[in-house]
C-alpha cells in the first residue's frame, strides 16, 4: 500500500519551481556528504550517527531540532518508497502531486543535494479545496510530514473525485465522533496555546520562530504536541485521547515520554506528560496513579447562539 507525504521544497517553497522543472524532490538540512550506501533501514540508526554531525554545524541547536532535521533527511532519502505520493506546496497556496519513481541520488553543489526522482502528476490542488483536517496536516511545520491517514481523500483528489471524508484506520479508536472532534481540538490548542493553563508554564517547541512541536515524529508515531517549559528545564508530551481506548493512550504517552527522555532531553531536563480527554475516566486515574510525571486534563466545549437583532 502506498504512503503519502507532504514535502517542503526549501523554506517557504523557495526551490519549488526548480524541482517541478527538474522532476525531483530534495533537501539539504546541513548534511553535506553523499549518503549513497549510508542510509540504514531504520531512521533511528541514521539519527544516531548524523545528529552529532548536525550539531557540529549548528552548535546552537537543540537535540530536538537536530532530530527533526535528520529524521526529515532520512525520510526523504530512504523512508519514502518508490511508488509513494508526495504533495509539495508551490508557495502560492497550491499543491503539486508527484509519484516517487527512483532511489536516492546525490547532487553535489546544489541547493537541495539529497534528491529523489519523481514524476509530477497533471494535478494542481488549491489548499482551500481540501478538508480542514487535511489542510491542518499539510500545513504542519517541518520539511516532511506523513499524511497517509488522509489517503482516501488524497486518492479522490488524484482521481478528480469530490466529497472527501474523514477516515481513521486506528483500531484502538472506540468513538469515531470523539476522534473527529479532538482532531480539531489539537489545532485549537496549538492556535490558542498562550490562553490555556499549559501555556502559562510551557511553550510549544519552536525552531527559528516556527512551531515544530505539533505532530513531532518519534519511532513509535507522532507526538500530538511537544512543549518545553519557559525555563527550559522540562519537556512536555501532550497526547489527546481522540476517541481511543484508555489503555492504548496511556501506553502511547509512556512510549513517547521514553523516546523524549532517551533521544531528545538535554542534560538536566526532565520529561512530563499530559493526557487530554473530554470525559473523566476512572481507568485513566487508576493507570496514572502509578506513572510519575503524567497528568490528566479534561476539556470543556461551550457553544451558544446569540441573537444579533
- CATH, domain range 176-298: 3.40.1350.10
Are 275 and 297 in contact by the 8 Å Cβ rule? The answer is yes
Strand duo 85-89 + 4-7: pairing: parallel
- For 100-153, write each residue's pLDDT tens digit: 999 999 999 999 999 999 999 888 888 888 888 888 888 777 889 999 999 888
What values do phi and psi take at 122, rounded to 5? -80, 65
- Dihedral sign for Cα atoms in the order 272, 275, 276, 280: negative
- For 204-220, write each residue's pLDDT tens digit: 998 777 788 888 888 87
Q: What is the pLDDT of residue 182?
A: 57
First to last CA, the chain: 54
What values do phi and psi take at 234, rounded to 5? -130, 140
Please name which of 287, 258, 252, 284 lies closest in space to residue 271, comparing C-alpha atoms: 258
What values do phi and psi take at 184, rounded to 5? -75, -35
Q: What is the pLDDT of residue 167?
A: 41
What values do phi and psi take at 185, rounded to 5? -60, -40
Percent with pLDDT over 90 in the chain: 52
Catalogue the long-range contacts made by 37-41 (C-beta closer than 8 Å, 24 or more residues apart).
39/74, 39/77, 39/78, 39/104, 40/78, 41/78
Task: Determine whether domain 4-158 maps to CATH 3.10.590.
Answer: yes
Does position 52 have pLDDT exceeding 90, yes or no?
Answer: yes
Say how far apart CA 99 and CA 138 lie, in whole Å: 17
Domain boundaries along the sequence of the chain: 4-158, 176-298
Distances (CA, A) of 202 to 38, 84, 237: 38, 37, 11
- The mean of the pLDDT values for the chain is 85
Task: Work out the pLDDT band at 292, boundaries 50, 70, 90.
Answer: confident
pTM value? 0.68
Please calculate the CA angle 210-142-252 and round it to the nearest 5 degrees.
105
Cα 163 to the chain's mean position, in Å?
25
Amino acid at each position: 500500500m502506498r504512503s503519502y507525504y507532504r514535502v517542503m521544497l526549501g523554506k517557504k517553497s523557495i526551490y519549488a519551481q526548480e524541482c517541478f522543472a527538474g522532476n525531483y524532490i530534495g533537501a539539504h538540512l546541513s548534511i553535506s556528504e553523499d549518503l549513497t550506501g549510508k542510509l540504514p533501514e531504520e531512521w533511528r540508526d541514521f539519527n544516531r550517527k548524523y545528529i552529532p554531525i548536525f550539531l557540529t554545524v549548528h552548535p546552537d541547536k537543540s537535540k530536538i531540532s537536530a532530530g527533526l532535521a535528520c529524521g526529515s533527511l532520512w525520510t526523504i532519502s530512504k523512508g519514502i518508497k518508490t511508488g509513494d505520493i508526495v504533495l509539495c506546496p508551490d508557495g502560492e497556496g497550491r499543491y503539486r502531486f508527484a509519484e516517487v519513481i527512483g532511489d536516492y541520488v546525490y547532487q553535489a553543489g546544489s541547493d537541495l543535494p539529497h534528491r529523489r526522482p519523481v514524476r509530477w502528476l497533471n494535478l494542481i490542488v488549491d489548499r482551500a479545496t481540501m478538508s480542514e483536517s487535511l489542510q491542518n496536516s499539510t500545513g504542519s511545520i517541518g520539511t516532511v510530514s506523513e499524511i497517509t491517514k488522509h489517503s482516501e481523500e488524497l486518492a479522490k483528489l488524484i482521481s478528480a473525485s469530490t466529497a472527501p471524508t474523514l477516515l481513521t484506520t486506528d483500531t484502538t479508536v472506540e468513538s469515531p465522533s470523539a476522534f473527529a472532534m479532538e482532531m480539531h481540538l489539537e489545532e485549537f490548542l496549538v492556535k490558542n496555546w498562550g490562553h490555556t493553563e499549559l501555556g502559562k508554564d510551557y511553550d510549544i517547541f519552536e525552531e527559528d520562530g516556527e512551531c515544530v512541536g505539533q505532530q513531532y515524529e518519534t519511532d513509535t508515531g507522532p507526538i500530538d504536541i511537544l512543549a518545553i517549559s519557559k525555563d527550559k528545564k522540562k519537556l512536555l508530551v501532550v497526547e489527546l485521547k481522540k476517541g481511543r481506548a484508555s489503555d492504548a493512550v496511556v501506553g502511547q504517552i509512556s512510549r513517547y515520554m521514553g523516546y523524549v527522555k532517551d533521544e531528545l532531553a538535554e542534560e538536566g531536563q526532565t520529561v512530563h506528560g499530559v493526557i487530554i480527554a473530554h470525559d473523566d475516566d476512572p481507568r485513566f486515574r487508576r493507570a496514572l496513579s502509578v506513572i510519575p510525571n503524567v497528568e490528566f486534563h479534561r476539556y470543556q466545549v461551550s457553544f451558544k447562539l446569540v441573537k444579533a437583532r
